[in-house]
Amino acid sequence: MVTLSVYLDGPFWVGVLELIENGELRATRFTLGAEPTDPELHDYLMRHGLALLAQASSAPPVPAGQGREDGRVNPKRAAKLAARAAARVSRARHRRFAPRSLGVLPGAFGPSQARASPRAPTLRHG
């Protein structure tokens, strides 16, 4: 099931496309700018609909049962949950592929020695 919600978020109108498959919710959020009319929204979906569906289907899934009793999730909450899940995936990938140095590990000497750094002497002219 695909749902499109449009709401005002600060000065901009925002759309959230929700895709529910196999009990999992995937969503994507996009900015529309000024308040769109129905024909403008239809034209936007005709031009960008496939890309939005692809973006939503590649987003990390969130269990769909976290919403209201009718199975729907507030669009702002769905966008927030999708952003959190994407950030978790991004951090995990970053940790997995981060370059590692062969030198001293940070914190190996304890917190007090790790923060201590020699200061260069200050020269006073006078």
Q: pTM of the full predicted structure?
A: 0.52
**DSSP codes, the chain:** -EEEEEEEETTEEEEEEEEEETTEEEEEEEEEESPPPHHHHHHHHHHHHHHHHHHHHTSPPEEGGGS-TTS---HHHHHHHHHHHHHHHHHHHHHHH----SSPPTTTT-HHHHH--PPPPPP---
Please write the tens of the pLDDT for every residue from 52-106: 999 998 888 888 765 455 666 788 888 888 888 777 766 665 565 555 554 555 5
Domain boundaries, the chain: 2-92
100 — phi, psi (to 5°)? -115, 140
